[in-house]
A = this chain, B = another copy of it.
Amino acid sequence: MSQADGSRFSRRQLVGGAAATAAGLSLPEGARARGRRRRRRVRTADVAIVGAGLAGLVAARELKRAGKDVIVLEARNRVGGRTYSKTLGAGATDVANMGATFIGPTQRRILALAREFGIGIFDTYNTGKNVLYFNGSRATYSGAVPPVDPAALAEAELAIVEFDNMAKEVPLDAPWTAARAKEWDGKTVETWKLENIHSPDGRKLIDLAIRAVISAEPREVSLLFWLFYIHSAGNIEQLINTAGGAQQYRVEGGTQLISDELARRLGRGRLIKRAYVTRIARKRGRLELETSRALVRAKRVIVAIPPAMAARIDYNPPLPALRDQFTQRAPIGSLIKTIAVYDTPFWREDGLTGQVTSDEGPIEVTFDASPKSGSPGVMLGFVDGDAARELDPKSPAERARAELESLARYFGPKALRPRVAFDYAWDRDRYARGCPVAVLPPGALLSFGRAVREPTNGIHWAGTETATEWHGYMDGAVQSGERAAKEVLAAL
């Protein structure tokens, strides 16, 4: 798997190497300058695809299978988008997933791809007790029900039932047509919570669930969007569970491997990396895509990047008002992922799964992310929503201290001495600008939802933000790529 680009993205050696690799997020200047000096390549294809994440690469594969000429333009120096694998330190062969990490048993599309490519799937480590850190004290527990105040638990369970029941009423292909769409898109999840959950701890549990799933605060999220999100996964347990849910499986070699395989099978010359698309213009019946490295002419275009990033392309003719205004209303969540590598997964010896639920940040959720072999021990921590926004501007040393102190609170002082640790701030990632998914505020679906997938002027939209099943997940990205390819094939 190509990891050559690692140094170009935001990462920090928290421990060990001590000093941050401050290469940060700057564009490869040399490459841009060269691109400008050299004559740009001019390329022609049936279909040009913007973005070599799962959605774009799956669309490319479907189109190639149907005999069409495709070119995929990718801004980064790697494929995979919000799946991003990084080696566990110098010389290591195993990788950490800095982005999408897990696969659930009902995510049949992404499972089928892995199977087809011979990529191994294994169970997320889930043996032992979980840790609950709540109201300043730590407890361990078995199973899915954390040991909180019974009244709070009863309310949280009621909320799950209510969310699931309401979610079923949201049509996946047109959430804005739900009978109660106007009511549900008129309020935040925060408002629903305050109306329906009354115990402070019950409210905290709701906050934790929302943050863990979409890396945003309940106040930022339309209730209608949240219900749609639940329905697109099946139900809440599908979203939050490890066993039987979206966190059940891991991918041998890391999730980016699936995109790497897709890219490899696409064949030579079909993928242009470091090609940030700045403009898509209709000229003489073709669509012309401008990047610093190439000029591509195509009959149809698939834009397979998040709406907030798609907004940054200069379209000519300009996009319809509804589409442009939709892209102004699809902000991406705020997520920092932390990886700490230890000689062994010492928490296993302590009888722990490595899974934490905590009401104190910055890391509120963790998983054992060790390789299948169990060596080295890898701890994965999530910093979501406001915690990410507060941690992000701090120095690497301050961040490291805060992140490792979180882990020590849950797993003891051994957690303070990793072999190596690093984090990845998706909010800073130049080409994602947030993670894991766009989080729609009230009113966006009701007034602008029609624009999410509607093709315009030869341009089609893909990416997990356009999915109707497993929206926000790798599986949704695959669905979106297949759907966009079908649209284009019908149009060509």
Contacts and interface: CB of A to CB of B under 8 A. Distances in A.
Given A278-B278, A314-B278, A219 B443 contact: yes
A334 B29 CA distance: 38
* Candidate in A185, A276, A316, A318 with the most chain B CB atoms within 10 angstroms: A318
A26 interface: yes
Contacts of A219: 185-187, 442-443, 446
A318 B389 contact: no
A328 B321 contact: no
A253 interface: no
A454 B186 CA distance: 31
A427 interface: yes
Nearest to A193: B186
B191 A321 contact: no
Contact of A427 (B321, B329, B334): B321
A19 to B, nearest CB: 19
A444 to B, nearest CB: 8
A94 interface: no
B191 A318 contact: no
Contact of A320 (B393, B443, B446): B393
Contacts of A433: 321, 324-325, 328
A59 to B, nearest CB: 25
A371 interface: no
Contacts of A317: 24-26
Given A191-B186, A191-B191, A311-B311, A322 B441 contact: no
The 5 closest A-B pairs by CB, nearest first: A321-B427, A441-B441, A220-B443, A328-B331, A186-B219
30 contacts: A26-B318, A186-B190, A186-B191, A186-B218, A187-B190, A187-B219, A188-B188, A188-B442, A217-B443, A219-B443, A220-B443, A220-B447, A276-B314, A308-B311, A311-B311, A320-B428, A321-B389, A321-B428, A325-B334, A325-B427, A325-B433, A328-B332, A329-B331, A334-B447, A386-B447, A389-B447, A389-B448, A441-B441, A441-B442, A441-B443
